[in-house]
Structure 1
Amino acid sequence: MKPSKLILTFILTASSVALLRAQSNESPYLTKSLTSENIKNVNLETSGGSLLVAGGDTNPRIEVYVRGNNNKNLSKSEIESLLNEYYDLKVEASGGTLNAKAKTKKNMNNWKNSVSISFKAYVPKNVSTNLTTSGGSIRLSNLTGEQNFTTSGGSLHVSQLTGDIKGQTSGGSIQIEDSKDKIELATSGGSIRASGCEGTIELNTSGGSLNFSDLKGTIKAVTSGGSVQGTDISGELITHTSGGSINLDRISGSLDAATSAGSAHVNMLSVDKYVKVDVSSGHADIQLPGSKGLNLNLSAQKVNADNLTNFSGTKEKDRINGKLNGGGADVDVRVSSGNINLVVK
C-alpha cells in the first residue's frame, strides 16, 4: 500500500472510531419507527458515516445521526440548514424494505460544510442487508439472511449472523463471531479475527494478520502481509501467508498451510484426508497423532524425528518417506531452507 493511501486509511479509520464514541452519548437527529413495516430488506448508503444493523429488536426503528466536521456538535437548526443545502437525505420504508441514503449534492465544494451522516437500524432477525459507506465502520448482529456490506474507510464487526455473508473493507480490520453458513470477508488494509464460526469460510487480507479460533467447516484464510494464528479448527483448513509465520494448535481434519517468509508450528489432533505444510524460509515443527495410519513424505535440510514407531520406509538426514502404522492419509511437509522437527504421539 502506498504511504499516502496508508495515511488516508488511518485518518478515515480513526475518524470512524471517534464518531462511534461520540454517537454513543448523543441523541439521534431523526428516528423513524418501523413497527408496522414488517421489514425484510435493509438498504443503507452513506458517504461519510458508520452503519449499524441489529436484528431481533422489539422496537424496530431507524436512527439517523448527524455530526459536523471534526465531530463538531451542531444544533438541530444548523443540521437542517446544512442538509437542505448540501445533502440529499432519504429515509423511507415500504413493501417490507427499508431504504436510507445520504449523499452530497453537486454544489458541495467546501469541506467545512461537510457532515457525517450515520444510520442505525434495529429490525427483526430475519432480514437481508445491502450496506455501503465510504468513510465509516459497519456493524451487523443477530441476523438471518443474505448480508452484503462494503466500506472504504472503516472496520467490519459482525456477530451472530446466519446465511450468506459477504463483506469487504479497503481500510480497516475485520472481526466476526458466532456466525455460520457461507462467510466471505476481505480487507486490503487490516487484520482479521474470526471465532465461533461454522460453514464455508473465506478470509482474505492483503495487509494484516489472521487470527481464528473454534472454526468448523471448509476454511480458506490467506494473507499477503502478516502472520497466521489458529486454534481449535476442525474440517478442512487452507491457509497461506507471504509475509509471516504460521501457528496452528489443536487442528482436526485436513490441512494445507504455506508460508514464504516464516516458520510453521502445527499440532494435529487428528488427520482426515491430508496434511500439507510448505515453508520457504524457516523451520517446521509438526506434531501428529501416533495412532493414525499415515503416509509420510518429509524433506528439509535436516529432518528430526526420533520417536517414530511402527514405521516402514526410508529415513535419511534430509528426508523421511514411508508408512506409519501401515499407511493412510498423506502427510507432505517441505522446508526449503531450514529443519523439520516431527513429533508423533
Structure 2
Amino acid sequence: MKKNLLLIVLLLGTLLSNAQRRFNEEPYLIKPFNIAAVSNVNMETSGGSITVEGGSGTGSLEMYVQPSNSEVRHRMSQSDIKAVLDQYYDIDVRIDGTTLIAKARRKDKPWTNKTALSISFVVHSGSRVSSDLSTSGGSISLSKLSGNQLFKTSGGSLHINGVNGKIAGKTSGGSIDLSNAGNDIDLQTSGGSIHADHVSGTIRLQTSGGSLSLSDLEGDIRAHTSGGSITATNISGTLLTGTSGGSVTLKGISGNLEASTSGGRISATMNRTKDYVKLHTSAGGVNLQLPRTRNAKLDLSGNRVSVNPLNNFNGTIDKSKIKGMIGDGRLAVEVTASSGNVEVSL
C-alpha cells in the first residue's frame, strides 16, 4: 500500500513538474532582432519576471505567459491564453530606433482570477545595453551588461551578475543578490536580505528588514539594514554600515570603518587602517583587533574597557573609559558600548 502511494506521489510530481516546465520553457512569443542595432531595453509587466542577459551572439525577445491562478493553470490551452490576452491585456512588443520595447499592461476592465496572467520577458542582447525595467510582481535578473540600468519590482527579488555601469534598483519585498559588478551601484529592498560579493566602486545597499552579507568589496561602501545582522569579509576602501537590530561581524577590513548597531555585538578585525575606526553599539560589547600601530587617538567607553598592549600612551585610563594619544594620534579610534565591554587589541 505504501509502495503504491509512493508511486502515485512520484507520478503526480512528475506530471506537475512537466506541466510547469511547459509553461516556463515554451515561449508564447519569440521576436528576433539585430543585436548590434539595440542599445536600450524598455520593459514593463504587471505580474511576471524580467530577465536581460547580455553577451549573446544573436538577439531575441521571449515572452512567457501562464495563468496566475495555479488551479486553472493546467486547464488552459494556448488558445485559451490567447483569448484572455486579446480581451484583457495590451501587449506592445517592437523596436523603436535603438530601443527594444516590451510592455504588458492589463486593460481597464473587470477581471477575475481566471483572467489573471503572469507575463514574463527574457531578452538575449549584446553587452553594451542600458535598461529601464518595471514589474509589479516578479523578479528582475540582469547579467553580462554595461551601461545604465534602472529597474524596480513591487514583490520580487533582484539578481545582478556581471553588470558594470550605473545600477539603480528597488524591490518592495524581495532579496537582492549582487555579484561581479561595479562602478556606481544603488540597490534597495523594503523586506529582504542583501548578498554582495566581488563588487567595486561606489556602492549603496539598504534593506528595511533583512540581513547583509558582504564579501570582497572595494570602494566607497554604505550598507545599512533596519532589522538584521551584518557580516562583511575582505572589504577595502571606506565601509559605513549599521543595523537597528542585529550583530555586526567584520573580518579582513582595510581602510576606513564606521559601524553601529542598536541591538547586538560588534566584532571587527582590521587588516589595514587609514584615517578612522568608529564602532558603536547600544546593547552589546565590542571586540576590535587592529594592526600594530604607534600613532592612534583613542576614545573608548563601555562597562569595562581594555586595550592590549597600551604602550607610549598619554591620556586617562579608568575601568569604563580610555581617552588619549598613542604617538601623534593620526588614526582616530572611537568605540562606545552603552551596555557592554570594549576590548581592543593593537
TM-score by length of 1: 0.91
Match of 1:34 in 2: 33
User: Which deviates more, 95-104 or 317-326?
Assistant: 317-326
RMSD: 1.6
Match of 2:319 in 1: 317
Question: Which residue of 106, 124, 127 maps to 1:125?
Answer: 127
Query: How big is each residue's C-alpha offset from its partner over 1:163-196, in whole Å with a ceiling of 9 and x where there is no partner?
Result: 1000000010001001000000000010001100
Contact kept in structure 2, 1:23 and 1:65, CA below 8 Å? no
Bigger-Rg structure (1/2):
2
Contact kept in structure 2, 1:271 and 1:292, CA below 8 Å? no
Contact kept in structure 2, 1:241 and 1:260, CA below 8 Å? yes
Question: Which residue of 172, 175, 184 maps to 2:174?
Answer: 172
Shift of 1:37: 6.2
Match of 1:300 in 2: 302
Shift of 1:274: 0.6
The CA distance in 1 between the partners of 2:117 and 2:50, in whole Å, is 15
Contact kept in structure 1, 2:267 and 2:287, CA below 8 Å? yes
Match of 1:11 in 2: none
Contact kept in structure 1, 2:69 and 2:116, CA below 8 Å? no
Structure 1 residue identity aligned to 2:169: G
Shift of 1:327: 2.3
Identity %: 46
Runs of 4+ in structure 1 deviating by more than 6 angstroms, as ranges, are none
**Count of aligned pairs:** 325
The CA distance in 1 between the partners of 2:284 and 2:22, in whole Å, is 47
Contact kept in structure 2, 1:37 and 1:94, CA below 8 Å? no
Query: How big is each residue's C-alpha offset from its partner over 1:239-258, in whole Å with a ceiling of 9 and x where there is no partner?
Result: 01111111100100001111
The CA distance in 1 between the partners of 2:210 and 2:230, in whole Å, is 9
The CA distance in 2 between the partners of 1:292 and 1:27, in whole Å, is 66
* Unmatched tracts of structure 2, length 5 or more: 1-16
The CA distance in 1 between the partners of 2:52 and 2:97, in whole Å, is 19
Shift of 1:41: 0.6
* Unmatched tracts of structure 1, length 5 or more: 1-17
Structure 2 residue identity aligned to 1:61: S
Query: How big is each residue's C-alpha offset from its partner over 1:141-161, in whole Å with a ceiling of 9 and x where there is no partner?
Result: 011100001000100000111
The CA distance in 1 between the partners of 2:42 and 2:257, in whole Å, is 38
Residue 159 of structure 1 pairs with residue 161 of structure 2: yes
Match of 2:189 in 1: 187
The CA distance in 2 between the partners of 1:253 and 1:107, in whole Å, is 57
Secondary structure of the corresponding residue to residue 275 of structure 1: strand
Contact kept in structure 1, 2:69 and 2:114, CA below 8 Å? no
Shift of 1:60: 0.7
Query: How big is each residue's C-alpha offset from its partner over 1:302-327, in whole Å with a ceiling of 9 and x where there is no partner?
Result: 10223223333322111112223442
Contact kept in structure 1, 2:177 and 2:196, CA below 8 Å? yes
Secondary structure of the corresponding residue to residue 167 of structure 2: strand
Question: Which residue of 281, 296, 301 maps to 2:283?
Answer: 281
Structure 2 residue identity aligned to 1:28: P
Contact kept in structure 2, 1:164 and 1:181, CA below 8 Å? yes
TM-score by length of 2: 0.90
Question: Which residue of 200, 203, 206 maps to 2:202?
Answer: 200
**Residue pairs, 1:1-345, within 5 angstroms:** 22=21, 26-35=25-34, 38-71=37-70, 72-73=73-74, 74-291=76-293, 293-344=295-346
Secondary structure of the corresponding residue to residue 276 of structure 1: strand
Secondary structure of the corresponding residue to residue 78 of structure 1: helix
